Chains A and B, each alone.
Chain A
Amino acid sequence: MTLLPPRVQPGNAQLGLVIDLDTCVGCHACAVNCKEWNTGGHSAPLPDHDPYGADPNGVWFNRIHTFEAGEGTASRTVHFPRSCLHCEDAACVSVCPTGASYKREEDGIVLVNEDACIGCKLCSWACPYGAREYDTDAGVMKKCTLCIDRIYNENLAEEDRVPACVSTCPASARHFGDLNDPDSEVSQLVSERGGKELMPELGYKPVNRYLPPRAAKKEQGPSGVGASLPPLADLAPDGDSRFLRWVDRVLSR
């Protein structure tokens, strides 16, 4: 359905990811595991063109960018995973002429029905986050499915019913849950850590949120900036009197 579902109701889930930029080390594990899962999953395959050639490029639902924020030694290197944000106001859906792109009413997941997609790519133009991945080989648009074939999968153990990228992240930088439920773990994280919406000015109301790097515990000594240990009775810093304090220490093995 190309029309977006009506405004999200309190009871309707808005499933999504919360990505912690404070702990992401940029290892690409989530991206590769996403590819691995999905290339044999609901959207199989995620083809790779010229895989061993001069211009390799493949379909990936999740990609890791690296940014630097700030300048000089005070700058921060931030690894930035980017996949579909399952927007509430997903123009990628409303521009789709065929109804292949749709947002599920029950959980807010934005999907492409490959069998209805004509491969016009308009949805990719409408996505501000560059999250749509065209499969030139099959002539259809593909994208992050939020691992729809895992999160409800009854063949998986309960605790494994999370997206592949979440279960694989070694730094626990990825969290999955219902962002429409204020009590969910992910919503709590967002409110505690000031989770950010990307490009709010575009009005897409992305569901996924990014937890900004925590304020660094930088120069936080016992007495803050410029702290140092008070030297003890150091009248002669290089003379033998330096040792006096240890001479009579009663020690025992």
Chain B
Amino acid sequence: MPGDFLNPEERIDLSPEIGDETKTTTCYMCACRCGIKVHLRDGQIRYIEGNKDHPVNKGVLCGKGSAGIMQHYSPARLTKPLKRKGPRGSGEFEEIEWDEALKIVSARLAKIRAEDPRKLAFFTGRDQSQALTGWWASQFGTPNHAAHGGFCSVNMAAAGLYTIGGSFWEFGEPDWERTEYFMMFGVAEDHDSNPIKMGLSTLKERGAKFVSINPVKTGYSAIADEWIGIKPGTDGAFVMALIHELLHADKIDLDYLVRYTNAPWLVIRDPGAADDGLFARGADGEPLCWDNNTGQVADARLAGVAPKVIGEVTLDDGRTAVPAFQLMADRYMDTNYGPEVAALRSGVPAHHIRRIAAELAEAAFDKEIVLDVEWTDWAGRTQDKMIGRPVAMHAMRGISAHSNGFHTCRAIHVLQMLLGTIDVPGGFRFKPPFPRPCPPPQKPAGKPGQVQPDTPLPGPPLGFPTGPEDLLVDADGTAQRIDKAYSWEAPVSAHGLMHMVITNAWKGDPYPIDTLFMFMANMSWNSSMNTSGVIDMLTDRDAETDDYKIPFIVYSDAYWSETVPYADIVLPDTTYLERWDCISLLDRPICSADGPADAIRQPVVQPDRDVRAFQSVMLDLGARLGLPGMTNEDGTPKFPGGYPDYLVNHERAPGIGPLAGWRGEKGDSDGTGAVNPDQLNRYIENGCFWSHEFRENQRYYKHANRDYLEYAAAAGWIGSSDQIVMQLYSEPLQKFRLAAQGHGDIRPPEQHRVRVGGYFDPLPTWYRPLESQDGIEDEYPFYALTQRPMAMYHSWGSQNAWLRQIHTSNRLYMNRNKAELEGLQDDDWVWVISYHSRIKVQIRLMEGTQQDTVWTWNAIGKRSGAWNLDPDAPEAKKGFLLNHVISELLPPKENGYRYSNSDPVTGQAAWYDLRVRIEKAEPGDAADETTFPQFEAQPRRGGHSLRDNILRYGGLFKPKRSKNDGDCQ
């Protein structure tokens, strides 16, 4: 005893077993899809760690992923299907059985399908099963389907797919191992969450230079070697000035342009003609170039031609044409695109622009990389080396979420092409299944004749129009989709416009719908603009009939979110640790530039509530509705085993299914092959993912690399192994412009002409973000932005006991100097006023914010009572959403028409165009230190309420120590 008294020795178990069972699966605390190992003890989750073998995260895990336990045991989990009892929004529900819920829904949908399938609007937020949901929609026959892309990053996807055949988003990555100069535009956290962090650390380790272009210096920008605090919405001007400098100094890779892009393609110069600005084409539609070898026009795609890039030529029909390169050079060499003008627009001093151009040129050309890897080009010619230009770029929503984002993103791609840095060593690399033809050949289905009762659509609802003939409009030019995607208001809206669905459905514009069916999107809150307005629309009733303007709402969520109370039927989903899932090559894959990969989720724990995986529910509904793909001839369900059954047995085309690994009856075929009944087990044995590594000679120049292209064609990623030619000059855009100029049969209605004609420029252009036009900036001098906090995923992190402590509430950040000049101090309460609305918030001053910019963390503000939190939770009382001051509609035009607040080319929601004015809140207003607006508290509802107010998770696993063992539960 004296020993213990004087020197109380502790017994430490240095080698505890982590758990009694370990299961691998895929994280879903965000869209990055890292591989995880879940350690279980006595059926409880002891620890989640990164899977070292996994191609995405190689063992690391982010803060969200590490908090998976708390998500899984969240008290906001839904427990049973719900049927609305009180008025919409009241949150009063009655619990019903699954069978009843599915009967109600399928009866309603069957009726719609028999009458007019368009009356179903089926929109699915950040869905990782779009291959299923998109297919389901087309089987149902409604064109009204999209996922979150339209409010997320369609500008990046579309600009990339129309220009280089792949895109930044998550379809490509910098060559972290080789790049010498990395430019990152407008990224706070991104879908490639862990890979970017790992990559940046590699860059720093290697001593490569990392430049971040971002109005805010946090997160990644905090560790950048150089921070360029640009004015929001002006990156296009900045990038074009870099192009200007490079062209003037002839620091461009002309060989690359000639080989891999349409720079030498001849563009018809015949002002006023219906084909002015289109490519001169030969008899078989092949694009032409001027071949210096022969002194005449030739198929521009031929190997061995020696094309002219400058100079007017005369075509066989006597008209003139110039190479696209010349048009491009002509535009950007103009002083209007020079550093001085760009400096005025972007706030980046001209000498910095010049210097960065010089640095880019130095990195690309003086630090050229040569890999001694022999490869074969598309034309079958052996090349003895791979030339690398070690400049890499990545861009995301800071570019995307502006109404000029499509062109800005295209400008960045043009810059990359000029430097010859796309899919070369040290550059930006495609992840398979990209590159695909620019744009991919798939067209949206849903033209007037294509929507028929009880009939599937002839194709998928989303695709890539290449001209007016592909739009979904009727003879008057009226939109065919409820979100007006593929209409003259947003012709290239490749991901739909989910942010417009509620507004349009409420207005009945272009037509009223019956059922709004949503999955996994908090549309009454943080994924809508004008949140308060949306709430009103969801609850608004027709004055005559007293019916809701949006008659019926079905929603699948897993948690008690802000949107659940607005549903008439709630289909409660499982958590990500309870279900089968698939991260498919047919969808948004997890490949790396070195090879394809896909993955699954397997249930690691069984649900303890009456919930069902949404995907299985969709297959069940499909079978109840008798949708052809989901029903056997005899009317029985095709996939009685639900989603896992579908994952294994569904084939999109013969030999091609959701999962590419271990196909073939014996599981010995990768990529394509017959159905393998044992496929899921093989995935589980391999850590729940499949990956394939390309051979060395397939890893770069994928757009023109025969060994790669043949592999890709065989895998079904692309239709043929033809070279993919990047599109410096975009002909589809010119086609829309020509229609606006009055050419062709399908023309925009009068009111849209100027707009379409103006914004559809075949070469990247810069214009002020729509909300900044018309001199609004005098009244609203600040740009207002949001950023993703690294430790929170949109709105769904707040129910997480651990993550919410990090971001319990949010502030509005302002530049210290600027704020002090305006008489504002740290912690002051202010009004943030846009032309649309106003909010009251508390500020925090910082150095690293562009002086005309204010910003906040995204989606921290919560509705009181949502997520089963205390109604007085700081998320509700001190937190706020910027969404309240963002309008989904632009101010009215002269004729009163209000366009959606989106990019006029793609329909991308222009979140970051927002302009505001800041006014100090009067002491009276500030006295009550809560944010404005406040909403009536939603009743709390959820699976598990805590018995006491202390969470002692893990107490169960406490090691047995000395005599007085912990008495914790």
Direct contact of A and B (CB under 8 A): yes
Q: Which residues of A contact B (CB under 8 A)?
A: 1, 22-29, 31-33, 35-42, 44-58, 60, 66, 68, 70-73, 75-79, 98-100, 102, 111, 113-116, 137-138, 148-149, 152-156, 164, 167-173, 213-214, 216-223, 225-232, 234, 237-238, 242-243, 245-247, 249-253
Q: How far is the CA of A68 from the CA of B846 in the complex (A)?
A: 8
* Pair B801/A229 contact, Cβ less than 8 Å: no
B304 interface contact, C-beta 8 A: yes
Chain B residues with CB under 8 A of A173? 201
Interface residues on B, range: 35 or more
Partner among A41, A56, A73 whose Cβ is within 8 Å of the Cβ of B804: A56
Query: Chain B residues near A155 (CB, 8 Å)?
Result: 15-18
Question: Judging by beta carbons under 8 Å apart, are B806 and A170 in contact?
Answer: no
B87 touches A (CB below 8 Å):
no
Scoring B306, B361, B802 by chain A CB atoms within 10 A of each residue's CB, the highest score goes to B802
Is there contact, CB below 8 Å, between B50 and A168? yes
Identify 18 residue pairs between A and B in the complex whose beta-carbon atoms are under 8 Å apart, listed by A's number. A27-B791, A28-B791, A33-B49, A35-B802, A36-B802, A44-B954, A45-B958, A47-B950, A56-B808, A71-B847, A77-B222, A113-B8, A114-B10, A173-B201, A227-B358, A229-B357, A247-B311, A253-B304
Q: Is B869 a contact partner of A52 (Cβ separation < 8 A)?
A: yes
CA distance in complex: A219, B226 (Å): 8
Point out which of A22, A73, A148, A168 has the most chain B C-beta atoms below 10 A from its C-beta.
A168
* Residues on the B chain within 8 Å of A48, using CB: 801-802, 805, 950-951, 953
- What residue of chain A has the Cβ atom nearest to residue B362's Cβ? A222
Residues from chain A with Cβ under 8 Å of B201 in the complex: 23, 170-173
Q: How far is the CB of A95 from chain B (nearest CB, A)?
A: 16
Q: Is there an interface contact between B872 and A37, defined as CB atoms closer than 8 Å?
A: no
Neighbouring A residues of B259 by C-beta, 8 Å:
253
Supplied contacts A170-B201, A249-B309, 17 more A-B pairs, CB within 8 Å: A22-B204, A27-B63, A27-B197, A28-B63, A32-B67, A32-B803, A40-B956, A58-B802, A153-B14, A170-B197, A222-B359, A222-B361, A229-B246, A229-B358, A246-B250, A246-B325, A249-B254
- Give B196-232 as 1s and 0s: 1 = Cβ < 8 Å from A's Cβ atoms: 0110110011010100000001111111111101000
Contact B355 A221 (CB under 8 A): yes
Partner of A152, one of B15, B219, B358, B963: B15
Whether A149 contacts B13 in the complex (CB less than 8 A), given A48-B805, A253-B259, comes out as yes
Q: Closest A-chain residue to B877, C-beta based?
A: A54
Asked if A51 and B249 make an inter-chain contact with CB atoms under 8 angstroms apart, the answer reads: no
- Nearest-CB distance from B582 to chain A (Å)? 25
Compute how far the CA of A238 lies from the CA of B801 in the bound complex, rounded to whole angstroms.
61
Does A44 contact B302, Cβ atoms closer than 8 Å? no
* CA gap between A242 and B310 in the complex, in Å: 11
A76→B358 contact, CB < 8 A? no
User: What are the 8 closest A-B residue pairs judged by CB atoms, nearest first?
Assistant: A39-B954, A228-B354, A229-B249, A40-B957, A170-B197, A40-B954, A116-B8, A77-B222
Specify which of A77, A218, A228 is in contact with B217 (CB 8 Å cutoff). Answer: A77
A50 to B873, CA, bound (A): 10
CB nearest to A245 among chain B residues: B250
Taking the closest CB of chain A, its distance from the CB of B205, in whole angstroms, is 8
Distance (Å) between the CB of B830 and the closest chain A CB?
Answer: 21
- B197 neighbours in A (Cβ, 8 Å): 25, 27, 170-171
A251-B309 Cα distance, complex, nearest whole Å = 9
Whether, in the assembled complex, B319 has its beta carbon less than 8 Å from a beta carbon of chain A, the answer is: no
Within 8 Å by CB of B961, from A99, A115, A167, A228, lies A115
Known pairs A32-B802, A32-B803, A41-B957; A23 contacts B223 (CB<8 A): yes
* Minimum distance in angstroms from A175 CB to a CB of chain B: 12
Contact flags B179-210 to A (C-beta < 8 A → 1, else 0): 00000000000000110011011001101010
Stretch in contact with the other chain, from B329-337, B550-558, B561-569: B329-337
Q: Which residues of A contact B207 (CB under 8 A)?
A: 217
* CB-based contact A218/B354 at 8 Å: no
A-side interface mostly? loop
- Mask of B250-276 contacts with A, CB within 8 angstroms, 1/0: 110011001100001000000000000
B947 at the interface (CB under 8 A from A): no
Q: A23-B223, A44-B954, A44-B966 are in contact. Are A217 and B802 (CB under 8 A)?
A: no
CB closest chain-B residue, reference A149: B16
B953 touches A45 (CB 8 A): yes
Known contacts: A47-B951, A232-B250. The answer to whether A36 contacts B47 by CB under 8 A is yes
**B 123-148 binary contact with A (CB < 8 Å = 1; else 0):** 00000000000000000000000000
A33 touches B66 (CB 8 A): yes
Which residue on A lies nearest to B302, using beta carbons?
A: A253
> Contact check: which of A54, A226, A229 meets B351 at CB < 8 Å?
A226
Contact B67 A36 (CB under 8 A): yes
Q: Look across to chain A and name the residue whose beta carbon is closest to the beta carbon of B218.
A: A77
Contact B355–A225 (Cβ < 8 Å): yes
Residues on the B chain within 8 Å of A27, using CB: 62-63, 197, 219, 790-791
Interface string of B474-493 (1 = CB under 8 A from A): 00000000000000000000
- Knowing A52-B868, A229-B354, the reply to whether A77 touches B221 (Cβ < 8 A) is yes
Known: A51-B801, A219-B355, A229-B249. A237 touches B333 (CB 8 A): yes
- CA of A237 to CA of B340, assembled, Å: 14
Contact status B204-A23, CB under 8 Å: yes
Q: Check if B870 is an interface residue, CB within 8 A of chain A.
A: yes
The verdict on B91 contacting chain A, using a C-beta distance below 8 Å, is no
Q: Which residues of A contact B362 (CB under 8 A)?
A: 221-222
B residues less than 8 Å from A33 (CB atoms): 49, 61, 63, 66
Tell me the complex Cα distance, A60–B962, Å: 24
Min CB–CB distance B15 → chain A (angstroms): 4
Q: Determine which residue in A71, A78, A237 has the highest number of CB atoms from chain B within 10 A of its CB, and name it.
A: A237
Within 8 Å of chain A (Cβ to Cβ): is B964? yes
Task: Give A229's nearest chain B residue, CB to CB.
Answer: B249
Tell me if B248 counts as interface (CB < 8 A to partner A): yes
**A37, A170, A227 interface centre (most CB from chain B within 10 Å):** A170
Q: How long is the Cα–Cα vector from A246 to B263 in the complex, in angstroms? A: 12
- The CA-CA distance from A70 to B791 in the complex, in Å, is 26
CA distance A77 to B844 in the complex (A): 14
Chain B residues numbered 931-963 whose CB sits less than 8 Å from any CB in chain A:
946, 949-959, 961-963
Check A232/B249 contact, CB under 8 A, given A29-B66, A48-B801: yes
Pick the contact of A230 from B12, B219, B249, B351 — CB < 8 Å? B249
Q: Kindly state the separation between the CA atoms of A252 and B805 in the bound complex, as whole angstroms.
A: 61
A171 touching B200, Cβ below 8 Å: yes
Contacts of B69 in A (CB 8 A): 36
Contacts of B224 in A (CB 8 A): 216
Which residues of chain A are within 8 angstroms of B304 by Cβ–Cβ distance?
Answer: 252-253
Evaluate contact between B10 and A45: CB separation under 8 angstroms. no
